[in-house]
Amino acid sequence: MIVSSDGEHLISFLPWLDRGRLTVCDGFDLARTRRLKVGGVLLRDFDRPLGPAADGYFWVITRSARFDKTPCLSVRALSDTAPEVFRLRFALDEEQVTLPREYLGDAERHWVGRYGGRWQTFIATPEDSVVASYPCTWRGRNPKDRKTPGFSGVWPVPGRNELWYAVDRSDHLLAVDSRTMQELATIRLPRAGCRQILFGADGLAFVQNFDTVAVVDTRTREVLRESRVQPPDWNDHGQKFAVFIGELLLMPEGRRLCVARPFSSDVVVVDVDTLEKQQSIPLRGEPLELALHPNGNDLLVREAWAGEFFRCTVD
């Protein structure tokens, strides 16, 4: 979930709920929401808002309606204060890869797409020139799982020429040199299913790992500690099964980590050093997405199934 710099708008997309449109919520009146169709294109599961970008804009990456036949991804930039489409560019075509100018500091940008008959992750510099691509892989996945290979995410490591790739449906994180695209190391996570990585100021990375939060040292690439922050649930047959956690959010002081727990109907605040729970904030429904309010202390939360937005305070 993206929050505008002044806190006036929240931008969210839940594929199973929003019916192909972005949901835009008034940051001061969370009951006021509207759905925005991006450039006449309905979004799909792969699509997502990215950002925020510079000058009050954010990017939405969408697949072309012809995506299955031609390798192109369209990227649309929208204003986060008055959402409307103002630019459309193709991120991928047969001749070259061109990317919109997105503000991510010194970090390179990355997109996943099909090119030349293969799924690739493309790396681009701030000048929009492609420097390399990295082929997708099945590594670490169940041999019977032969669905389209790919990555569930790619994250640039701050202050290093290094990218971390999470192999989809696998417990592998691949550390890759962003200049040469040579693999540096494989980081084995406690569980399969990495959807988010947050980097702290002290060289630590906080990995959302299905029902677990893992802390990884970015220098040694070792898992330092882990904690199952979401207890297992019970099914109709009286059997326990693991359930996933939602988004992570690192508080501005860098000492507290907020974790959305949709199956426990709360957001928990844990200490980053011990991963012990400090606070539980009960909410209605199943909280899934988190964002920080511009006041630096309040959380903005979106529920998974009803799509409601909440605002709560961290003690």
| Domain boundary residue, one of 103, 127, 146 | 103
- Please determine, for residue 52, whether its predicted confidence score (pLDDT) is greater than 80: no
Whether 38 and 149 map to the same domain: the answer is no
Query: Residue 69 belongs to what domain range?
Result: 1-103
Q: Which of 224, 168, 155, 226 is nearest to 196 (CA)?
A: 155
Greater confidence (302 vs 76) lies with 302
Average pLDDT over the chain, rounded to an integer: 70
Q: Name the token pair of 126.
A: 């701030």
| Domain boundary residue, one of 39, 68, 103 | 103
Overall average pLDDT of the 226-251 stretch = 81
Whether 17 and 76 map to the same domain: the answer is yes
Whether 220 and 247 map to the same domain: the answer is no
Distances (CA, A) of 279 to 42, 96, 119, 257, 282: 39, 50, 42, 10, 10
Whether 129 and 90 map to the same domain: the answer is no
Q: Work out the angle at residue 187's Cα, subtended by the Cα atoms of residues 182 and 193, and round it to the nearest 5 degrees.
A: 110
| Domain boundary residue, one of 103, 130, 153 | 103
- At residue 56, the 3 state secondary structure works out as helix
Q: Name the token pair of 231.
A: 């207890």
User: Do the beta carbons of residue 214 and residue 189 sit within 8 Å?
Assistant: yes
- Round to whole Å and give the CA distance between 278 and 120: 41
- Round to whole Å and give the CA distance between 283 and 277: 17
Whether 133 and 218 map to the same domain: the answer is yes
- Round to whole Å and give the CA distance between 267 and 249: 10
User: Do the beta carbons of residue 232 and residue 274 sit within 8 Å?
Assistant: no
Whether 205 and 243 map to the same domain: the answer is no
Query: Do you know the residue count of the chain?
Result: 315
- Please determine, for residue 101, whether its predicted confidence score (pLDDT) is greater than 70: no
Whether 98 and 6 map to the same domain: the answer is yes
Exposure letters 193-208 (e unless 16+ CB within 10 A, then b): bbbbbbbbeeebbbbb
Per-residue pLDDT of 140-187, as tens digits, reads: 555 555 555 455 667 778 888 787 888 777 788 888 887 777 889 999
Q: What is the CA radius of gyration of the chain?
A: 19
CATH number of the structural domain spanning residue 307: 2.40.10
Whether 279 and 212 map to the same domain: the answer is no
Q: Say how many domains are in the chain.
A: 3
CATH number of the structural domain spanning residue 136: 2.130.10.10
Greater confidence (192 vs 314) lies with 314
